[in-house]
Amino acid sequence: MKDISCKLLIIGAGPGGYVCAIRAGQLGVDTVLVDIGKAGGTCLTVGCIPSKALIHAAEEFDRIRHLAAKNPFGITTAAPQIDLGKTVDWKDGIVARLNNGVIALVKKANVKMVRGQARFVDGKTVAIATDTGSQVVHAEKIVIATGSAPVELPFLPFGGNVISSTGALSLREVPERLVIVGGGYIGLELGTAFAKLGSQVTVVEATSRILPQYDAELTTPVLAQLKKLGVAVMTGTRALGMNGSGSALRVESDRGLTELPADRVLVTVGRRPVTETAGLEELVLAMDGPFIRVNERCETAMRGIYAIGDVTGEPMLAHRAMAQGEMVAELVAGHKRTWDKQAIPAICFTDPEIVSVGLLPEAAKASGQGEIKVGTFPFAANGRSMTKLAENGFVRVVARADNHVVLGIQAVGQGISELSAAFGLAVEMGARLEDIALTIHAHPTQGEGLQEAALKALGQAIHI
Ligand code: FAD
Ligand code: NAD
């Protein structure tokens, strides 16, 4: 196969890599994008999109189940049934449409896409093992965007009934008893979905709290809803492995050893960077633990080699990878860019959902920016939330006491993930409490909670 020479080679077509490729193509940079799997990477194929599809289907099922029981709307209907195989086929259809969409966008940007496993030969050369042989690519600049994979516990290897998130998103039958190891993002998002679909779910979390990255005020409504759904949450509990017959998970806590009978065990104890597929040993990269160390321009320790996305560490979120990809494309095109983002929004798609942008109150207090003001507005006092039976939760604004600059905004509530756009904009634009408080928010919306939280921090709340 004839060698290819290009200005930019990107290894990995996940949200980091494909966004980098499209932007580079738009800017006229001669770009090659390579992936061993499908365009869209983890996020599109086995992550963000398929998990949100399953979560939505579970919400629909749960909603109809509630309507089939006694409800305040005067609606009567039969109890719903679900054929999870058909749900998974529908989810796969969405993934396929988006895979094709990414391929079309990459093509439109005049980027050449190669399918195969890329391995560094040296800092300017990569060999791609394709179905039809080895394709050598010489590139002036190379971006490593190889993403992440589920952490596998040595005493609980994936296989059989022990599954990762990828396996959970392809189940064609709802497991009767689902035990989940890890009460973080994936465990709780998927655990909530399967509980709504009818599984008896148990979550085993090693630390003393679920979602330990958020404060207890934010996670309490989630915990309450898990309880309502019949999910057993065992904090301070460690998984030890399957029992001899493989029918139960052995766990240990202060209360001693016990066995949890399980039809499936879903292990969601975090994700690790994929650094073993691309022959990185041929390079001299500086590392931050298992992650590739990068500076504020996503440059690695080797000139001309960048790294973006999950392979560079936390937060492992698709939109961070995309923003890094866009920045690196512009740098390669000769623009002056640096990572100057004020905040990266994070959403946990549990029920209720959690949104967090910027600093939590404790982090704000510890940030050395002086005294802090916090304003909280409960959805129980919001008309729109009442009409949606979504009163569980609140919006919270964290600001400097001296100049009222907003440092963080969080919320927990049903269906409030879309508020993340307003929260992110406020923090990124350096809004003060007055900017939010004096903006007319449409009525009746849950977004009014943001305005009221800002008013509350100013001591001027109207509706509480
Ligand atoms: P990835 O998406 O992992 O893509 C890396 C790509 O590199 C892969 O396609 C892989 O095939 C390819 N590759 C690796 N090695 C090679 C090689 N040597 N040669 C060629 N190709 C290679 N994030 C959110 O922001 N919101 C969510 O709601 C969300 N939900 C999630 C739900 C689940 C179940 C999971 C697992 C993750 C979720 N995430 C979510 C995280 C999100 O998927 C990742 O942050 C995101 O995919 C990272 O993008 P990336 O480009 O760094 O890497
Ligand atoms: P996580 O880091 O969110 O949660 C892992 C949990 O497992 C932690 O609470 C940890 O204390 C616990 N744990 C670790 N070892 C354990 C053990 N031996 N026994 C019991 N508990 C143990 O990781 P995740 O849920 O696997 O998700 C990985 C990453 O994927 C997230 O950090 C996030 O970046 C990304 N993600 C994001 C979204 C989203 O944005 N909505 C959704 C899913 C995944």
**Which atom of ligand 1 lies closest to the CA of 39?**
9
Q: Is 201 helix (H, G, I), strand (E, B) or coil?
A: strand
**Cα 356 to ligand 1 centre (Å):** 21
**Which atom of ligand 2 lies closest to the CA of 182?**
7
pLDDT at 358: 98
Q: Which ligand is nearest to the CA of 321?
A: 1
d(CA 243, CA 116): 39
Which residue's C-alpha comes closest to atom 45 of ligand 1? 317
Sign of CA dihedral 308, 311, 316, 317: positive
| Of 185, 226, 348, best ligand 2 pocket probe by most atoms within 8 Å of the beta carbon | 185
d(CA 32, CA 433): 46
Q: Which ligand is nearest to the CA of 233?
A: 2
pLDDT by residue (tens digit) across 217-266? 999 999 999 999 999 999 999 999 999 999 999 999 999 999 999 999 99
CB atoms within 10 A of CB 194: 25
Ligand 1 pocket check for 277: Cβ under 6 Å: yes
Place of tokens 């939760």: 393
Residues with Cβ within 8 Å of 96's Cβ and at least 6 positions away in sequence, in order, are none
Residues with Cβ within 8 Å of 10's Cβ and at least 6 positions away in sequence, in order, are 17, 20, 21, 24, 31, 32, 33, 34, 142, 143, 145
Which residue's C-alpha comes closest to atom 3 of ligand 2? 184
Q: Which two tokens stand for residue 287?
A: 């590392």
Sign of CA dihedral 94, 96, 97, 101: positive
**Cα 337 to ligand 1 centre (Å):** 24
Residues marked active site are found at 443
Ligand 1 pocket check for 354: Cβ under 6 Å: no
Burial state string for 155-183 with b = 16 or more CB within 10 A and e = fewer than 16: ebeeeebbbbbebbbbbeebbebbbbbbb
d(CA 156, CA 164): 11
Three state DSSP letters for 328-397:
HHHHHCCCCCCCCCCCCCEEECCCCEEEEEECCHHHHHCCCCCCEEEEEEEHHHCHHHHHCCCCCCEEEE
**Cα 385 to ligand 2 centre (Å):** 29
**Cα 113 to ligand 1 centre (Å):** 18
pLDDT at 170: 98
Segments in the chain below pLDDT 50 = none
Which residue's C-alpha comes closest to atom 12 of ligand 1? 12
Q: What is the C-alpha end-to-end distance of the chain, expressed in Å?
A: 71
Number of residues assigned to the chain: 464
Q: Which two tokens stand for residue 458?
A: 């100013």
DSSP strand E in 99-211: where?
A: 112-115, 117-122, 125-130, 133-144, 148-150, 162-163, 177-181, 200-204
**Cα 18 to ligand 1 centre (Å):** 11
Which residue's C-alpha comes closest to atom 11 of ligand 1? 37
pLDDT by residue (tens digit) across 149-174? 999 999 999 999 999 999 999 999 99
**Which atom of ligand 2 lies closest to the CA of 238?**
19
Can you spell out the DSSP letters for 273-330? Answer: E--TTTTGGGS---EETTEEP--TT-B-SSTTEEE-GGGG-SS--HHHHHHHHHHHHH
Identity at 351, one-letter amino acid code: D
Which residue's C-alpha comes closest to atom 15 of ligand 1? 146
pLDDT at 436: 98
**Cα 37 to ligand 2 centre (Å):** 23
Ligand 1 pocket check for 43: Cβ under 6 Å: yes
Q: Which ligand is nearest to the CA of 179?
A: 2
Ligand 1 pocket check for 264: Cβ under 6 Å: no
d(CA 15, CA 41): 7
- What are the pocket residues of ligand 2 if the criterion is a CB atom closer than 6 Å to any ligand atom? 153, 181-187, 189, 204-207, 212, 238-239, 268-271, 315-317, 347-349
| Of 237, 269, 418, best ligand 2 pocket probe by most atoms within 8 Å of the beta carbon | 269
Which residue's C-alpha comes closest to atom 18 of ligand 1? 278
**Cα 40 to ligand 2 centre (Å):** 21
pLDDT at 364: 98
d(CA 214, CA 355): 10
**Cα 69 to ligand 2 centre (Å):** 34
